[in-house]
Structure 1
């Protein structure tokens, strides 16, 4: 196997470095309403469904509806992102190589459709080709990460089996979702050290990685399963 049957990428913190924008928006929300907001609180929201995150703020005393909190955070992230593409190391190069090899690619994120559309358009301009064959946004799902639904939706849209595909994630929440969907899961630490999660294939960075490396991760997982 020289390439995987498909690759499913997380967005925030995996393809692009938007985690600082999300954390800054959350800090502003917490400060405005005078609630305690610790580093542990910040880490707990990395990769989480936005409405689940909103309910965390509500439980801490923010007197807003969940939809209003999500709309506020998304708007601030979009404003901060503008037309920029703060790519994570090696991410765009790997995406370009996958597109050149004709490997189906999906984006599976808890960010909303508005952010997905902005990023997809910016990436298309940068690459000169559609970056994804399918996209799953947080507001497409009834159950967000860590539930397997987002990745199961991505696999269904691509028409591939989980056993032949790879997910790339940077969060515990996202990696648990991908693992539960049956995917070989590459963990690339960023805001949290996802390499600590059992079952995740640890890569310190995507820099220098190739489609062949992704395929090798699937074969390694199969070999481990055969020996178990």
Structure 2
């Protein structure tokens, strides 16, 4: 979960599983800004705390497009001005139909949700995911410098390419969360090389993990 503060508005990106009370913590960090709650995507571990909040962006791709004013989903990139802090909202379906990335021009951080992080990248729509990662890499290359990419999970150890067991409740010596822009370029490149048929791809910093339909 990430809270981005502008002078007029604040954006809470994801609300977690709902197993912890979130609103008092968020409100303690606000200074009169109007709070918007949105999601990188709508899987249960990202929307579980929605019920605590008043203004929450809907869960479908249509809801997200309507709220942010994205006329041509998933090709348009739109801006959200929080007041002295401009965010770019970038549709990147593939892991989930409603998935977005958020680029913060102030900190030069790219928030990538479950589409890129040090772990297993679960791909439910292979064609959409390949296209999304190409567009995201092109967005960065087109004059949007990235200091860090921050995703939503860590599933890798510090040993390159080695992941923890699924469901592991302890992650000793885990990979750092921050990834640099080169990892996104690598992801786009290996997906392009893999072609149209889903395939598992292991890298030092991620594992592309296609999920069979049904």
The normalised TM-score by structure 1 is 0.29
The structure in which a higher percent of residues are helix is 1
The normalised TM-score by structure 2 is 0.31
Greater length-normalized contact order (CA 8 Å, ≥ 6 residues apart) = 1
